[in-house]
Amino acid sequence: MAKARWTVLNPTIINRTISDGERTILDKFNGSHDYRIDKIERRSQREYDISIEGKHYFDSPTKPGERVEVGFSAWLPLMCIRDLLNWCQWDIAEMTSYPSMTAAGDWSGVRDSEPEYIWEIFEKYVPSLFGF
């Protein structure tokens, strides 16, 4: 199976609702991961505050050579932090609501943090990965 690329049901609507920066992150993110995005929903007017739903494809852990498809939903800032950053390193962990848990490798320390802490991590680290 070829590597999945993100697709949307109605790209003209999506083009009017996401910024160039959001599109760049989605393009790069999905260029290096096996995701197909089916739905993008703006949560607020704040840039990058979007929810996404779709399918995630990965190699079967029990059947070599087979691909597995699993549905997913995510908030873009958390998805980027989880998949693009070394989120358990101390300089990121100390920005969460639960620094010790996060530094020990417990994702819930990031996931369950106050939204303003998640935004601070996202805004400090993610845009620089994309040159903006």
Q: Which of 27-31, 89-93, 97-101, 123-127 has the lowest mean pLDDT?
A: 27-31
Q: What is the pLDDT of residue 29?
A: 62
Token output for 57 = 């494809």
Q: What is the pLDDT of residue 38?
A: 81
Q: What is the pLDDT of residue 4?
A: 40
**Banded model confidence at residue 7, pLDDT cuts 50, 70, 90:** very low
Token output for 36 = 């197909």
Q: Which residues contact 51 (CB under 8 A, 6 or more apart)?
A: 40, 41, 43, 73, 74, 75, 76
Computed over every residue of the chain, the mean pLDDT equals 84
Q: What is the pLDDT of residue 19?
A: 86
Residue 68 has pLDDT above 80, yes or no: yes
How many of the other CB atoms lie within 10 Å of CB of 83?
Answer: 13
